[in-house]
Amino acid sequence: MPQSFIRYKKIIDAYLLRFLSEKQKELSSVNSWSDDIFQKLNEFVTSGKSLRGGFVLFITDIYGKKINDDALRLASAVELIHAGFLIHDDIMDQDRMRRGHPSLYTQYEEVGKKLTFNKPLLFGQDMAICAGDLTFFLAMSCLGQNTNSKKLPLLLNHFSSEYSSVCVAQMQDASFGFSYRIPTIDEVLSLYRYKTARYTFSMPFMLGGILAGITKKEITTLEKLGEQMGIIFQLHDDSLNLFGNPQITGKPVGSDIREGKKTLALVRLFTHAGNLDRQKLQAIMKRNKRNPKDVTLVYQLLEKYQIKTYLETEILTIANNATQFISNLSVEEHFKKDMTDVLKYIYERSK
């Protein structure tokens, strides 16, 4: 990643901590859980890479707009909503770890055990759902402080549109998990586009472009570039889940297999496997729980049908398309190089 992203993360984190401190003071009179959740949120929202908020500032920066408080409010709101999605995702996916630490619902489960609460796991999940909801309203409060009244309605419209798409796409993802049907490759790519690509890349790119006051044509180019980069991001995430180093990624390898997720890797494997192998795979996917032997067999099939190579090839093909969009941007060449570095980081990262 360009060195500027280290600076972006630092100033976003600093702004977020100030903002959360103010909100903690406002809500501390409600009850003691207010202080507790803000302490947890302080750590949670600053422990990631701040990519989405960083992209808002990056785009604002490369088009010559000063990074002011309005830009920081926008970037921070994006990060807060992302935090809420992750908190809820961990509950839905039953992931007990996030970034090498216990996920938020797992932290509250331990709180429940110490307080001898009944059903501590359910308590942890309920508390984390409330925490995730809280981040959404905090994001609206943060965004509402934007001083540019002319651009605020357009920014809010993009927020509402893109995040609504994420929620509906998440419903599709959940339905894939509960269904025995194997989706098509086009269905999976559509899921990736709306659940990950647009809100992780296209939306921050467009928001930064709106702040910078660039043309609609340029914003459209950024939107299309963001979709390409976002799909690469998700495909590489799939690859890391299957073939990454858990000590680096902070998540157990193969969790997508154990959870029966219909990723592009699995769909490709299912559609290209021989009849006998497909029957074995289908039997595994129909089980409520997949044991270590099931996971081992799937890995053997992944290797047999060269799924890792397939993912790498797909990523490079889409990256070539993204490179063409980068070349069409109306920015200086050194900024195009920075964007190319971001593209490379997306599919070369180890976590």
**What is residue 70's predicted lDDT score, i.e. its pLDDT?**
94
pLDDT digits (tens, 9 = 90+) for 297-309: 999 999 999 999 9
pTM: 0.92
Domains of the chain, start order: 1-147 (1.10.600.10), 149-351 (1.10.600.10)
Dihedral over Cα of 182, 168, 143, 203: its sign? positive
Angle of helix 4-27 versus helix 32-46 axis, rounded to 10: 180
**What is residue 97's predicted lDDT score, i.e. its pLDDT?**
87
Dihedral over Cα of 6, 220, 162, 198: its sign? negative
Distance, in Å, from the CA atom of 243 to the CA atom of 239, rounded to the nearest integer, reads 6
Low-confidence ranges of the chain (pLDDT < 50): none
**What is residue 117's predicted lDDT score, i.e. its pLDDT?**
83
Long-range contacts for 339-346 (Cβ within 8 Å, ≥24 apart)?
A: 339/62, 339/225, 341/1, 341/2, 342/1, 342/2, 342/5, 342/58, 342/229, 343/229, 343/232, 343/319, 345/1, 346/229, 346/232, 346/233, 346/236
**What is residue 292's predicted lDDT score, i.e. its pLDDT?**
92
- In contact, 30 and 1? CB cutoff 8 Å: no
Half-sphere exposure of 77 (CA within 13 A, CB side): 27
**What is residue 256's predicted lDDT score, i.e. its pLDDT?**
87
**What is residue 3's predicted lDDT score, i.e. its pLDDT?**
80
- The DSSP output letter for 332 is -
